[in-house]
Amino acid sequence: MPSAQRNERTPLLAPSSNKRTPRSRRPSNASTAPSSSGTRSGDARPRRENVPPRPRPVSIAAVLESQESSQAGFLDYVRNRFDLDSETPAVRASLTLLLLLQYRRSLKDTLAKGRNDVIGSSATVRQAQTDLVSVDEQDIPAVLKTLEDDIAREEELWDVLWISWLREDGRDGRLRVVDFLYADDAAPEVLLKHRLVAHTLERHWIHGAPSRHGASHTVWQRFDALCTPRLNLLSHNVSLWIYFALLASYLIHPPRRHRILPDSPLQTYGARECFLLLFSLGVGLNRGPWSALHALSGIMTLVTFSTTLPDVPYPTQDTFSPLLVSFTLTFVAFHIPNSPASPFLLLTRTSRAWPLALFLWDNIVQVLFPAIAVLLPSFLLISFLLTAALNTTPYEGPDTVLFETISNVIGIFNDTTFTTPMETRETLFMLLLAVIACMAGVVFLACTRAPSTVADLSIEPWERYGPLVGARMRQLFAQAVVTYSMASSMEGTITGTRIKTGFGRPLYMFPPPLNLVHLLLVVGPRTAGRLFARGPRSPLRGEGENRFIGVVGSTEAVLWRILVGPLALTLWALSWVITRAVK
């Protein structure tokens, strides 16, 4: 082989081509050279061309780690690191904002660690504080100013917030700009209150994601687009209302039992009890950031019925009390402003109704609950004593020696018909009224703490109950939009200095108890397929896994359109009629 051709193919070996290579360090392509023992060159295998390796995607964490040695500003580092001029304005703004927010989070972590080591990390803390001020007051406002100048369409605003990027190398988690909007202290105030961000969230909450298919938008895609985040939350609450109604019906009208033969019930499991068990299982297995109380209520109901099989809980049994607790938990969960269940809150403008709900809840939690914790023992004591004083019949307590001894010592539950004097009753009654009056005063104080800016129409609706309530409500609203959004978003991939984008699959939501079908036919096979694909000889490795996930995704779409689609269409029609009637 001529030396020119050998040098062209293996330039790294060109400087040492005239030297003999030691046997122990012989390169892998040395077999292509003629053998000293007379082997013909034609018998040697042809040399394979050097194929460039496929570039691996770079994560956000890797980009941040490579900046640690750089002394330039972070925004300048991002502009020099990537060829952003060749990308669309949405991709450019999304990646820049995400890197700035992740860098801001790392600075916050540095400051938090520095508080524990004040002496050893004072210089690091000062530098982190300086960088944090620069990011909040210079870099992010500069990106938002560029965003206002470059973005001109709704779908571009959507892409800026919803394009997902790889979080860490070797993992499947992805990160979006919108994920920082509802995390605690993850986004600065200038981003959280920006008019384009607020407009995108409110529009997506009511109308869904912007259409990017135009005339090629299929009928099924238009059908899926009807289920906006607001209607998703409404359909989820409809299932919770049905569960609450079934539980209330059981508590008000429980099954009857034989009076002569109590162990032989007249009725056990009817249609109501079966539906209650089905809904309780669905509510207990429901996933969501705000379904803790509802899930606890469903699990308690399911466990209560399971412990009494083949019978049902009756009012005369101890198993009836957990159902009362489940009923109370569901009732309280309906009033948590994180996930409002009132139809009025879901149909009215979010910036007007939700801040009021959060303001009232905060005042009740911060003022009323501590007062109840202080006054509850006295309230229970006075109520107990008043009940005992008004009782004119002997008390028949449980047959235990301990309780009988305590009762005889106190002298309240003795077997005597002697009634409490009227003066004692009046005193206990007045004390009870005093405790109730104190609680009512606390509620009055909580209601009068509303700021004077509530009636000022010149102030933005989010801020009428104070800046803290407005900031928290914006975060909760962003979390609601993200949680109940079904639209597919773009996925960005960083390869070197270039960026590639593609579309992901939509996220279908199934309210209880339809989520049981979703768990059985979609989540279960998808999880089993991913576990099976990890085997070294599994037929699902590589492209097989992608095809299997695609089939499961198509099954999920068909199930949603059959099971949840009609309910979503009905709710969309009702909300459209009510909205037009209110206007």
DSSP class of 165: E
Instruction: Please tell me the predicted confidence (pLDDT) of residue 36.
Output: 41
**Beta-bridge partners for 502:** 491
At residue 381, does pLDDT exceed 70? yes
Whole-number average pLDDT of the chain: 71
- The model carries a pTM of 0.69
How high is the pLDDT of residue 412?
44
pLDDT tens digits along 63-86? 777 665 555 677 777 777 777 777
Q: What pLDDT band is residue 121 in, cutting at 50, 70 and 90?
A: low
Provide the pLDDT for residue 452.
54
Tokens found for residue 58: 């770079």
Q: Stretch 291-304: mean pLDDT, rounded? A: 86
- H helix intervals, 334-368: 343-347, 350-363
Read off the pLDDT of residues 413-468 as tens digits, 9 standing for 90 and up.
Answer: 444 444 555 656 666 677 777 777 766 766 676 566 655 555 555 667 777 777 78
With 60 as the cut, is the pLDDT of residue 351 above it? yes
Q: Are strands 490-495 and 164-166 parallel, antiparallel or unpaired?
A: parallel
Supply the DSSP string of 25-59, one letter for each residue: G--GGGGGSPPTT---GGGSPPPPP-PPPPPPPBP
Enumerate long-range contacts of 349-352, CB under 8 Å, 24 or more apart: 349/461, 350/202, 350/205, 350/477, 351/202, 351/460, 351/461, 351/462, 352/461
Instruction: Note the pLDDT tens digit of each residue in 396-409.
Output: 544 444 455 445 44
Instruction: State residue 409's pLDDT score.
Output: 41
The whole-number pLDDT of residue 417 equals: 42
Q: What is the mean pLDDT of residues 92-99?
A: 86
Q: What is the mean pLDDT of residues 236-258?
A: 81
Q: Which residues have C-beta within 8 Å of that of residue 550, sequence separation ≥ 6?
A: none
pLDDT of residue 185: 76
Q: Sorting pLDDT into bands at 50, 70 and 90, what band is 410? A: very low
Q: What is the mean pLDDT of residues 521-546?
A: 72
What local confidence, expressed as pLDDT, does residue 72 receive? 61
Least confident residue range of 192-206, 235-249, 276-290, 498-512: 498-512
3-class secondary structure for 483-505?
HCCCCCCEEEEEECCEEEEEECC
Q: Report the pLDDT averaged over residues 363-377.
A: 69
pLDDT band at residue 34 under the 50/70/90 scheme? very low
Rounded distance between C-alpha atoms, residue 282 and residue 243, angstroms: 10
Closest C-alpha to 511, from 563, 456, 442, 463: 563
- pLDDT, residue 15, reads 39
- Determine which helix (DSSP H) or strand (DSSP E) holds 164, and give its type and residue range: strand 164-166
At residue 195, does pLDDT exceed 80?
yes
Confidence of residue 560 (pLDDT cuts 50, 70, 90): confident
pLDDT per position as a tens digit, 250-279: 887 777 665 555 555 555 777 888 888 999
In this predicted structure, the answer to whether residue 220 has a pLDDT above a threshold of 80 is no
State residue 81's pLDDT score.
74
For residue 305, pLDDT beyond 80:
yes
- What pLDDT does residue 19 have? 42
Q: Quick one: what percent of the chain has pLDDT higher than 70?
A: 62
Average pLDDT over residues 51-62: 64
CB 313 within 8 A of CB 319: yes
Beta strands in 92-154 (DSSP E): none
Closest CA to 526 of 507, 502, 513, 511: 507
Q: Mean pLDDT throughout 296-306?
A: 89
pLDDT at 525 over 60: yes
Structural contact between residues 162 and 178, judged by C-beta atoms closer than 8 angstroms: yes
